C-alpha cells in the first residue's frame, strides 16, 4: 500500500520538470494519475507509458491549461475515464521575463493566463467533483518564492504566483467545511528546463544566496506534493509550504 493508493490525481504540465516528477512520485505511491501537457507531445506520451509500467492507471491529455473550455472538457473527461478526482495539482507554468520598462502586454497576458488563470480554470472545473468525495480532497497549487518576495525582471511571473497564494488561501476558507483542502507549494530555485535557460552567473547568484548552497531537485518538491496529497496532511489547509533550501522570504 502506497501513501496515495486508491486516489486519483490530476497533474497539469507534467511533460517535464516538477510536474513530471510529481506524476511519477504519485504513481510510485499508488495513485492513478491523469496528467496534461501542451507542446511536448512525445514526452507526454512517453510519460503515460512510464507511469502505466508502475501498475497504476495513467493517462495523458493534451490540454491548454490557460483555456477555460479546455479545462472543463479535461475535468469531464478525467471523471469519465477515472471515475472521480481526489487530488488536483495545478503545476503548469511559464516565464516570459523582462524588466517592466520593456515588458509587452503579450508577455504580461500570457504569463498571467498560463500561470494564474489556469489555476482558476481547472479548480473551478473540478470543484463539484472534489466536493463529492466522502474522504475529502486536496488541491495543490505550485506557486514560487518569487510570488512571496518579488524578483526584478519577473513582475508578470511574481504577480501570477502571488495571485496563486491568495487564490489557494481563499479556496481553503470556502471549502474547509467540505473537507477539501487547498494548499500551495512555493519552490525556490529548482533545477529543471525552466531554470536551465538562466545565465550561469544568475544561477551562481541564486545558489550563493541559498542557506543550503545548492539548487533543489524536482524530486524534493514532489515529495512535499505527496505529503499534501496524502492523508498525512489531513489537517493542513490554507498553507504555503516553502521548498527552498532555507531562502528568506
Ligand atoms: P518546466 O520544466 O518548464 O515545465 C513546465 C510544464 O508546464 C511543462 O510540462 C509544460 O508542458 C507545461 N505547460 C506550460 N504551458 C502550459 C499550458 N498552457 N498548458 C498546459 N501545460 C503547460 O517548468 P518547471 O520548472 O518544472 O516548473 C513547474 C512549475 O513550478 C511552474 O508553475 C513553475 O512556475 C513552478 N516553479 C518552478 C521553479 C523552478 O525553479 N524550476 C521554482 C518555483 C516555481 P509542455 O512542455 O508540454 O507545453
pLDDT tens figures, 69-108: 999 999 999 999 999 999 999 999 999 999 999 999 999 9
Query: What DSSP string describes 171-211?
Result: HHHHHGGGTEEEEEEEE-SB-SHHHHTS-HHHHHHHHHTST
CA distances from 122 to 88, 201, 231 (A): 8, 37, 22
Judge if the beta carbon of residue 17 lies within 6 A of ligand 1: yes
pLDDT tens figures, 99-148: 999 999 999 999 999 999 999 999 999 999 999 999 999 999 999 999 99
pLDDT tens figures, 192-237: 887 887 788 888 888 999 999 999 999 999 999 999 999 999 999 9
Whether 174 has a pLDDT exceeding 80, the answer reads yes
Q: How many CA atoms lie within 13 A of 6 on its CB side?
A: 9
All structural domains of the chain, each given as residue ranges with its CATH number in brackets, are 8-242 (3.40.50.720)
pLDDT tens figures, 142-173: 999 999 999 999 999 999 999 999 999 999 99
Span from the CA of 90 to the centroid of ligand 1 (angstroms): 10
Quick one: pLDDT at residue 199? 84
Model-wide pTM > 0.85: yes
CA distances from 46 to 40, 41, 42, 82, 129 (A): 10, 9, 6, 20, 28
Judge if the beta carbon of residue 160 lies within 6 A of ligand 1: no
If phi over 0 gives left and psi between -120 and 50 gives alpha, with beta otherwise, what is residue 243? beta
Question: Counting atoms of ligand 1 from 1, which one is nearest the CA of 161?
Answer: 34
Quick one: pLDDT at residue 205? 85
| Residue (of 217, 223, 238) closest to 139 by Cα position | 238
Query: What DSSP string describes 70-131?
Result: HHHHHHHHHHHHHS--SEEEE---------GGG--HHHHHHHIIIIIIHHHHHHHHHHHHHH
| DSSP structural state of residue 170 | H
CA distances from 142 to 1, 55, 88, 135, 174 (A): 27, 27, 11, 23, 19
Quick one: pLDDT at residue 203? 86
Active site residues: 157
SS3 of 10-68: EECCCCCHHHHHHHHHHHHCCCEEEEEECCCHHHHHHHHHHHHCCCCCEEEEECCCCCH
CA 212 from centre of chain: 24
Quick one: pLDDT at residue 195? 81
Mean pLDDT, the chain, whole residue set: 97
| DSSP structural state of residue 216 | B
Judge if the beta carbon of residue 40 lies within 6 A of ligand 1: yes
Amino acid at each position: 500500500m502506497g501513501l496515495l493508493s486508491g486516489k486519483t490525481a490530476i497533474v497539469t504540465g507534467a511533460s517535464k520538470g516538477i510536474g513530471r516528477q510529481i506524476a511519477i512520485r504519485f504513481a510510485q505511491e499508488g495513485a492513478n494519475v491523469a496528467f496534461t501537457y501542451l507542446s511536448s507531445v512525445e514526452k507526454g506520451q512517453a510519460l503515460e507509458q512510464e507511469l502505466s509500467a508502475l501498475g497504476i492507471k495513467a493517462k495523458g491529455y493534451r490540454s491548454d491549461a490557460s483555456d477555460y473550455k479546455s479545462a472543463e472538457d479535461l475535468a469531464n473527461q478525467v471523471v469519465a475515464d477515472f471515475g472521480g478526482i481526489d487530488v488536483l495539482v495545478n503545476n503548469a507554468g511559464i516565464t516570459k521575463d523582462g524588466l517592466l520598462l520593456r515588458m509587452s502586454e503579450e508577455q504580461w497576458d500570457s504569463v498571467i493566463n498560463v500561470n494564474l488563470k489556469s489555476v482558476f480554470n481547472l479548480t473551478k472545473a473540478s470543484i463539484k467533483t472534489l466536493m463529492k468525495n466522502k474522504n475529502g480532497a486536496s488541491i495543490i497549487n505550485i506557486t514560487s518564492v518569487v510570488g512571496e518576495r518579488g524578483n526584478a525582471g519577473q513582475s508578470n511571473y511574481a504577480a501570477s504566483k502571488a495571485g496563486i497564494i491568495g487564490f489557494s488561501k481563499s479556496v481553503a476558507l470556502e471549502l474547509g467545511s467540505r473537507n477539501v483542502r487547498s494548499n500551495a507549494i512555493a519552490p525556490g530555485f529548482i533545477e529543471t528546463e525552466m531554470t536551465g535557460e538562466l545565465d550561469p552567473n544568475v544561477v551562481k547568484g541564486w545558489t550563493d544566496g541559498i542557506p543550503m548552497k545548492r539548487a533543489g531537485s524536482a524530486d524534493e518538491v514532489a515529495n512535499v506534493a505527496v505529503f499534501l496529497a496524502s492523508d498525512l496532511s489531513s489537517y493542513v489547509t490554507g498553507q504555503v509550504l516553502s521548498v527552498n533550501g532555507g531562502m528568506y522570504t
